Amino acid sequence: MQASVRNVLTAALLGVLTVGVLSAALCTARAQSAVAVSIDNFTFNPEHVTVKAGSTVTWTNRDDIPHTVVATGHAFRSKALDTDDSYSFTFTTPGTYEYFCSLHPHMVGTVVVESAGGGDAH
């Protein structure tokens, strides 16, 4: 029973990640549990993500210079991320979170967190 639940969760996670990648071209990624944002060529990619409350967003630096991930509203702040370093934050409170790189403030992105209470949960 435990193993099958884990398999279902793993499959769901992979699906979510796939959807996130596919949606990146539209500048809107939607996910329920985990979203990956890469930092590449001085850009957060995807720049805008929409997640359900309780989701974790992980930023990974793919540039060969350091970057940071800092919320404008101080909800989160990473240390300087070297190449291939990553930083994760779990969003529990719905809202719009704008963030930037404190080393290159023109690098900006947005995480929109929607209420986790969906209508089809029954």
Name the residue nearer to Cu ion (CB basis): 35 or 107.
107
The binder of Cu ion chosen from 71, 103, 108, 112 (CB under 5 A): 103
* In the block, residue with structure tokens 């409350």: 53
Check residue 67 for interaction with Cu ion (CB under 5 A). Answer: yes
Check residue 81 for interaction with Cu ion (CB under 5 A). Answer: no
Stretch touching Cu ion by CB under 5 A, among 48-56, 67-75, 76-84, 89-97 = 67-75
Name the residue nearer to Cu ion (CB basis): 75 or 103.
103
Check residue 101 for interaction with Cu ion (CB under 5 A). Answer: yes
For 5, 8, 35, 118, the CA distances from 58, given in Å and listed in that order, are 24, 21, 6, 23
Type and span of the H or E element at 2:
helix 2-23
Stretch touching Cu ion by CB under 5 A, among 7-15, 17-25, 76-84, 95-103 = 95-103
**Rg of the chain over all Cα atoms, to the nearest angstrom:** 15
Cis before 94 (ω within 30)? no
Contact indicator for 97, 111 with CB cutoff of 8 Å: yes
In the complex, the residues that contact Cu ion under the rule CB under 5 A are 67, 101, 103-104, 107
